[in-house]
Chain A
Amino acid sequence: MTPASAVRPRPVAPATRPWWRDAAGSAAVGSIVVVAALWLAHRGLQDLTSAAPGSRLTSLGRLTGLVAADLLLVQVLLMARIPWVERSYGQDTLARRHRLVGFASFVLMVAHVGLITAGYAAADRSGPAAEAWDFVAHYPGMLLALAGTALLVMVVVTSVRAARRRLRYESWHLLHLYAYLGVGLALPHQVWTGTEFVSSPLARAYWWTLYAAALASVVAFRIGLPVALNLRHRIRVRKVVREGPGVVSVHLSGHALERLPVRAGQYFVFRFLDGPGWSRGNPYSLSAAPRRDGLRITVKDLGDGSARLARLKPGTRVLIEGPYGRLTGEARRGRGVTLVASGIGITPLRALLEEFDEPPGTVTLIYRGSTPDEFIFRDELDRLAAARGVRVFYAPGRRARSRRSWLPEEAARLSDVEALRRLVPGIAAQDVFVCGPQPWMDAVRTAAAGAGVPAERIHLERFDW
């Protein structure tokens, strides 16, 4: 057992303020309102109803261009890993929204190109091809904009699910980074030919500031912050321990870990400097509460580089990025806790178990696994059960076949909700933390809701974004 002094006394991470989420969402919506206002202020609506040839098309083209460009900046900010934004929404929600906003801005951008070309062609009584050539050859910044558009099209095409499946992750990620270049190349034509910007220094100043802020965020939080974190903490592999078939725990050591702002339940993106392929980062949750003398992660061999971890040598340098994750004790609102884990999903919940200091009998762990061999940490869980009165239920067995259920086949005669109620009679007043494969987690969530747990007390975190 580790001495008590090695366990950190309390979480170091500052609390997440509830108004951050509102502020971030309002800022995003507000930016769209600003560009719409710019459009209106420069006769956008009048041109929409004007009879002059091409006027309607051009006006609509300007609006779609403005909103598309604004959404692209929102995209950049969504993925900039700004700590306040990440703590308010969670990386999984942000990744989902990034996808949505990305496709929306792409559609608007394509509309913008088509509408402007058609509008100018109508005004000049020429064909769209001639007009497009005219743009690119003569108008300020348009060649750059064409290159930017091509890059963004490439990024979107390679991000469609069908394309992603065919690409190696590293290749896909490299191609995706060109989105930054695409967004930057589009800026000159916006301020040099965009009606709303050419005649208004204030609008131009605002636009440049927005771009600068997006760039600064990326540099500060995607590069600067991780670099600083790694320079300060200098994480290394201490030892690698086999926990079960295909599952290893990596114990990590570092400096000044008491100042690492991580809580039980959170994860980092890890890069192990063990040779080629090191640059691909993988998210792994801490599988034990963070200690002053070290951290632990536990990883199952899923083929995406996780098998390499079993061969890590002690002393290997580790780069971390984070901490990320909202599956922490901070989210708690109820009395008592139920933790429901499946397979390797036990890792963040095992860490959380150490943190909860609740009366005996008020914390329950339900642990699903395909076979009894799959259960890891059995001795640690038994110790926690004995020392703190944690109720632990192991539920081995293959998935129930007859319906979508969180239960094993052996217990499928019970309904999902009934089984949950029987295991934890007072669950409706508790917080429920769930971790495992996504479809199974959805089934647990449905069951918990059916058992009377309100949505804000059911806590999940997706890892397959």
Chain B
Amino acid sequence: MRRITAWLLGTVSGVVLLVSYHTSTMGSALPPAPTTAAGEVSPPATAATAPLAGAARSAIAAPAPATPATPATPATSAVPSGDAVVNGAAVSTRWGIVQVQIHVQNGQIVDVVPLAVPDSNGHDFRVNSYAVPVLHDEVLAAQSANIDTVSGATVTSNGYIRSLQSALDAAHLSRS
């Protein structure tokens, strides 16, 4: 084929392959988070809950108050005919606030949306990008907060589960 055609074909193929990789269309790994979080600059972590720990985070996030935010009361927005969208409590973790929102239809959890996850530095992107989808799928499968934490993201997972539990409680869906 002619050289210019080969160039065009090569370029288009390259771009298609690049865009197919999952990070090329993921958007920012998190939704626009309400900055209620305290992005604490932590001392070198002692509890080895995650391989990620052990690094002091650089304070890239917006300036935060020193005291952790108190968990907000869960809010419920009423949606007609047994459907509900319920916000869980904003749980304060070592790396920041975690808050989830559940979407309920006919008594079933159909979606879990992260409203706030730690985003104080790029580290958190990595955690969120693999942990949040895993947690989401586990919740939908278990239809409860009785799920395993994701290894390598224990702190975020725990915050996620606690926020989820408070949302389930508010939606009267918790099965103890």
Instruction: Report A's interface with B, CB cutoff 8 A.
Output: 42-43, 46-47, 50, 52-55, 58, 119-120, 123-125, 134-135, 137-144, 147, 174, 178, 181, 185, 188, 191-193, 195, 198-199, 201
Residues in B neighbouring A46, C-beta threshold 8 A: 59
CB pair A55–B28 under 8 Å, yes or no, is no
CB pair A138–B125 under 8 Å, yes or no, is yes
| Residue of A whose beta carbon sits closest to that of B119 | A198
Decide yes or no whether B29 CB sits under 8 A from chain A. yes
Residues in A neighbouring B7, C-beta threshold 8 A: 174
| Residue of A whose beta carbon sits closest to that of B7 | A174
With known contacts A43-B63, A123-B55, A139–B122 Cβ distance under 8 A: yes
- Cβ of B121 to closest chain A Cβ, rounded Å: 7
CB pair A140–B56 under 8 Å, yes or no, is no
A125 to B51 Cα, complex, angstroms? 11
- Cβ of A144 to closest chain B Cβ, rounded Å: 5
A223 to B62 Cα, complex, angstroms? 43
Render B26-39 as a binary contact track against A, CB cut-off 8 A, 1 for contact.
Answer: 11111011010000
Residues in B neighbouring A43, C-beta threshold 8 A: 59-60, 62-63
CB neighbors of A among B143-158 (8 A) = none
Pairs across A and B, CB under 8 Å, 13 listed: A43-B60, A46-B59, A47-B59, A52-B58, A52-B59, A58-B58, A58-B60, A123-B56, A137-B23, A140-B23, A181-B15, A188-B24, A193-B125
Q: SS class of chain B's interface: helix, strand, loop or mixed?
A: loop
Residues in A neighbouring B63, C-beta threshold 8 A: 43
CB pair B126–A141 under 8 Å, yes or no, is no
A47 to B120 Cα, complex, angstroms? 13
CB pair A144–B130 under 8 Å, yes or no, is no
- Cβ of B2 to closest chain A Cβ, rounded Å: 11
Residues in B neighbouring A142, C-beta threshold 8 A: 23
Residues in B neighbouring A198, C-beta threshold 8 A: 28, 30, 119
Residues in A neighbouring B52, C-beta threshold 8 A: 124
With known contacts A120-B122, A188-B24, A191-B28, A140–B129 Cβ distance under 8 A: yes
Residues in B neighbouring A42, C-beta threshold 8 A: 60, 62
CB pair A55–B126 under 8 Å, yes or no, is no
Decide yes or no whether B11 CB sits under 8 A from chain A. yes
- Cβ of B160 to closest chain A Cβ, rounded Å: 19
Decide yes or no whether B14 CB sits under 8 A from chain A. yes
Decide yes or no whether B19 CB sits under 8 A from chain A. yes
Residues in B neighbouring A192, C-beta threshold 8 A: 26-29
| Chain A CB within 10 Å, residue with most, of B24, B59, B122 | B122
- Cβ of B117 to closest chain A Cβ, rounded Å: 12
Decide yes or no whether B170 CB sits under 8 A from chain A. no
- Cβ of B131 to closest chain A Cβ, rounded Å: 12
- Cβ of B118 to closest chain A Cβ, rounded Å: 13
A124 to B19 Cα, complex, angstroms? 28
Residues in A neighbouring B130, C-beta threshold 8 A: 138
- Cβ of A284 to closest chain B Cβ, rounded Å: 25
Cβ-defined partner of A123 (8 Å) among B15, B29, B123: B123
